[in-house]
Amino acid sequence: MISQGSYGCIFYPGMDCKGKPMHTKKGKRPEFVTKIQRKKATSIVEEEVGKKIMNIKNYEDFFAPVIDSCPLSIGSIENDEIKKCDFLSKSVDINNDVKFQSNKLKYVGKHTFSSYLMKLFKTHPKRLFRTIMNSYRHLLKGIDLLASNGLIHYDIHDRNVMVDSKKTNPILIDFGLTIQNMPDCDKKGFYVYAPDYDVWCFDICLINYLLHEVSTESTERISNEILFKVLDEYIEKNSVWEHFTSDEKDKYKTQMQTYLKGLENKSAEDIIDELIGYWKSWDNYSVSVLFLNNLNMFGNGIGIDIGNDIEKDFKESLKKIVASTPSERPIAKTTILETKQKYSIH
């Protein structure tokens, strides 16, 4: 077992559908991991999305989706392996009738994006910023491919970005929260109001508030008081704003209040429909937050090979995306073109 969490456990080398180790050619590194989890909505989504992603040309350069799934009987797994996984041990003790699913995924490597950058920082610091920029472009291309297929990853953070140990490209994993069939999506994908979750932009925050705190069935017209309340909670509770000065936050708040006045007295359903119109920019926002967090981790030490002016300019570009109003926030395709024109790091 190489990892465990609320999602279940990941085993490497992988197991087959009978809980037995997958066959590996002599002298070859095992190619697959197995993710074992309860069969529930997120595992079903991950299986569905995996099938769609595998239809994307060269998908393995950007994504590590579920390749295959099967029901799994815990009784077929060796007891020693079960003991390694708290999730499985507790499930067996509590309820032997719990349904489990075994998901087969390609083994990418052991490093998350930030752990790979930290390793590079310690061993080859002059390559760090170039790697960051190349990784940024690569992830943007990935989310542009998802958007072209009506998909939002919806959960891009460090633990869901692994680095391919062979190609050193960032690879997106874990598609359990992915929203499909955009923009005509099932709104069940917007499952919780969480203004403190820095992965989600304000649009998502407001959509979830209206769905879970107001209800789209209500005939109530949404007042500025409600809209401004959600905005205040988003700014106060969301850690992404630690990257901004007080003046920058005040400027964003003023711009957003102007934008929100255009939504005043509309129904919750109409506001949600309008905000969903900006869905192609949501993963771009999440990627910006990911890179701001990683740049912050290294302080001022990452520009040593190219000069801090470029580093500062890149940070400002990321902050501009985060602090954009929904209607002004760029989609990944636009950011790819702007980055290509602005920076000539290869």
pTM > 0.85: yes or no: yes
Which residue shows structure tokens 């085993």? 11
Q: Provide mean pLDDT across the span 239-268.
A: 97
Beta strands in 74-165 (DSSP E): 100-106, 161-163
Which residue shows structure tokens 């955009």? 182
Question: ∠ CA(214), CA(216), CA(219), 5° rounding?
Answer: 85
Parse the chain into domains and list their residue ranges: 1-107
At residue 314, the pLDDT reads 93
Q: Give the list of residues 6+ apart from residue 131 with CB closer than 8 angstroms, or none.
A: 117, 120, 168
d(CA 109, CA 162): 7
At residue 21, the pLDDT reads 79
**Listed range (39-43, 208-212, 245-249) with the worst mean pLDDT:** 39-43
For residues 85 and 26, is the Cβ–Cβ distance under 8 A?
Answer: no
At residue 96, the pLDDT reads 58
Q: Is the pLDDT of residue 95 over 60?
A: no
Structure tokens at 181: 């069939």
Q: Is the pLDDT of residue 341 over 80?
A: yes
**What φ, ψ does residue 80 adopt, rounded to 5°?**
-60, -35
d(CA 305, CA 128): 9
